[in-house]
C-alpha cells in the first residue's frame, strides 16, 4: 500500500514538474496571445460602437421626421426609438473611450495592463 502511494506521489511530482516547465517555456507565447486577443476585442467593440453612433447620426433626422417606419401618426414610437438609439449611442461613446484606453495601455504599458487585468 505504501509503495503504491509512493509511486503515485512520485508520478504526481514528475507531472507537476513537466507542467511547470511547459508553462515556463510557453509563457511568452501565452502572453502574446493574451495581448493580441485583448487588442482585437477592443478594436471590435470600438468598431461596433462607431457603427451604432453613425447609424444614429445618419438617421436621426429621418427618424425624427417620421419617415423611418412610414406612419406619420405615431410620434410616441419615434420618440421611444430616438431615445433607445440615443441611449445606445451614449453607451457606445463610453465603450469607445474605455476600449481606446485599453488599447493605449496594451500598446504602451503591457505589463501594467496585465497586472490591472488580473487585479480586476
pLDDT in tens, the chain (120 residues): 667 666 776 776 676 666 666 667 767 888 888 899 999 999 999 999 888 888 777 776 666 565 555 555 566 776 777 788 778 888 989 999 999 998 999 999 988 888 888 888
The separation between the first and the last C-alpha atoms of the chain, rounded to the nearest angstrom, is 46
pTM for this structure? 0.63
Looking at residue 13, its pLDDT comes to 65
Grid-cell match 508553462, residue found: 23
Check if the beta carbon of residue 29 is closer than 8 Å to that of residue 58: no
Looking at residue 104, its pLDDT comes to 93
Q: Quote the distance between the C-alpha of residue 86 and its chain's center.
A: 22
Amino acid at each position: 500500500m505504501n509503495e503504491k502511494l509512493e509511486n503515485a506521489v512520485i508520478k504526481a511530482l514528475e507531472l507537476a514538474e513537466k507542467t511547470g516547465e511547459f508553462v515556463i517555456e510557453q509563457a511568452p507565447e501565452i502572453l502574446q496571445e493574451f495581448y493580441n486577443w485583448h487588442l482585437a476585442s477592443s478594436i471590435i467593440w470600438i468598431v461596433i460602437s462607431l457603427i451604432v453612433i453613425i447609424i444614429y447620426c445618419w438617421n436621426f433626422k429621418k427618424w425624427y421626421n417620421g419617415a423611418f417606419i412610414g406612419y406619420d401618426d405615431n410620434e410616441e414610437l419615434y420618440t421611444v426609438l430616438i431615445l433607445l438609439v440615443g441611449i445606445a449611442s451614449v453607451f457606445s461613446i463610453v465603450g469607445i473611450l474605455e476600449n481606446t484606453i485599453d488599447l493605449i495601455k496594451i500598446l504602451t504599458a503591457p505589463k501594467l495592463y496585465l497586472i490591472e487585468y488580473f487585479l480586476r
